[in-house]
Amino acid sequence: MQDKTHLVDEITGHRRMRRNRKADWTRRLVQENRLTVDDLIWPIFLIPGSGIADPIPAMPGVNRMTVDKAVEAAKEAADLGIPALATFPNIEMHLRDETGSNSLEANNLINQATAAIKKAVSNLGIITDVALDPFTSHGHDGILRGNEIVNDETVDQICRAAILQADAGADIIAPSEMMDGRIGAIRRALDRAGHQSVGIMSYATKFASGFYGPYREAISTGGLLKGDKKSYYIDPANGTEAIRDAALDVEEGADMLMVKPGLPYLDICWRIKEAFGIPTYAYQVSGEYTQIKAAAMNGWIDGERVMMETLLCFKRAGCDGILTYFAPEVARILAKRG
């Protein structure tokens, strides 16, 4: 009887993929992608007041924080080696109006937090968003006139807000409202105001996704939203349109590009990195975070393993970094692993 191993060798030749998988040390030698603390950006939520860390029910383990607590979080991030925070405000309802005018207050919540964090932890990067949804009474990312989110008026306002955020100490402006022409307009506005060194991380491909629900609870816009955001976010079915959007942002001067949401759009991450070769990031959004947390809390998955696996998938898809609510947890795990 012919030896079965011999038969396998005749079929495959001498190609044995398992040779490189046989032991931990060989797997480590041939590992193609690695996740490090340098890949992490930590999004945090801000609320008015002092001394408050308010748990978000839909996002287990994530709190809304007053500025003093945000400063403590920033110090923790710096100690863990996390390069940057991204801040999102939940302002009082009486400050929200049809045009999001509080975005133009120099001492608004987001700018207070930036100034305080920069004073306490000067070497930590601060990334701020100029979208109007935390400031509007209708929950949209831009100015609502009748039933339309008006493009150019919104762009004018977010340019002015970007200057104020840069004045407060923001290192990177990350516009997420998906208005046409915003990247070039913000770049020109920042340069004219003397902020040539402030970068722009464009939410280049932000999809009209169902994964944003917990985030909207976190900034208290879920119950405010009139209609939907499909007239300015990208249809989840459209990959080529997303690449065209990203190309326009590159032409207009974006320093970095972001894909949002993250895991359902790994193909877009890969295509953007391959097409443009500039720093590319993914936002592992609230719905992605909550799915993992909820399944882990129910014992249905190994939460730590899945968390780390998903983040490594972003690296494999070409991302230079990830905005993730898991950032401090991951940073502590990586530190223990040495």
36-337 — its CATH code?
3.20.20.70
**What is the maximal distance between C-alpha atoms in the chain?**
85
Q: What is the pTM of this model?
A: 0.94
Any idea which of 11-20, 25-34, 130-139, 275-284 has the lowest mean pLDDT? 11-20
**pLDDT of res. 10:** 63
pLDDT tens by residue, 206-255: 999 999 999 999 999 888 988 899 999 999 999 999 999 999 999 999 99
Amino acid at the residue 128: T
The proportion of the chain whose per-residue pLDDT surpasses 70, expressed as a percent, equals 96
Alpha-carbon span 32 to 315, nearest angstrom: 10
Domain positions in the chain: 36-337
Catalytic residues: 206, 260
**How confident is the model over 66-93, as pLDDT tens digits?**
999 999 999 999 999 999 999 999 999 9
Taking a C-beta distance cutoff of 8 angstroms, is the pair 292, 317 a contact? no
- Higher pLDDT residue, 27 or 168? 168
- Is the pLDDT at 2 greater than 60? The verdict is no
Instruction: Report the C-alpha gap between 6 and 69 in whole angstroms.
Output: 66
Average pLDDT of the chain is 95
CA distance linking residue 48 with residue 67, whole number of Å: 7
Check residue 223 and give its pLDDT: 85
Reported as a single tens digit per residue, the pLDDT across 243-292 is: 999 999 999 999 999 999 999 999 999 999 999 999 999 999 999 999 99
